[in-house]
Amino acid sequence: MKNITFTANESLIKKARERARKENTSLNKRFREWLEQYATKDEKPDEFDHLMEKLCYARPGKTFTREEMNER
């Protein structure tokens, strides 16, 4: 990987690092994720399919009846 240097407001960097810490990640990782999305935005014509691929691990575990789905 190649290093990049950016300049930003110190208090903004502090807030971003705190948020990343609360999300159990790093500011560096979040920035790499953002940079990938930004750089490949036009390369992903169908973001819905991409999202479904990312969420393919999620399974409900059972089939719900109509009544169960409408319960409040």
Q: Quick one: average pLDDT of 11-23?
A: 95
The CA distances from residue 45 to 32, 42, 54, 55, 61, in Å, are 21, 7, 16, 18, 31
In a domain, 5, yes or no: no
Q: Is residue 3 part of a domain?
A: no
Task: Provide the number of structural domains found in the chain.
Answer: 1
Average pLDDT over residues 4-25: 94
Q: Dump pLDDT digits (tens) for 50-62.
A: 788 888 888 778 8
Domain boundaries, position 44: 10-70
What pLDDT is attached to residue 43?
63
Residue 45 pLDDT grade (very low, low, confident, very high; cuts 50, 70, 90): low
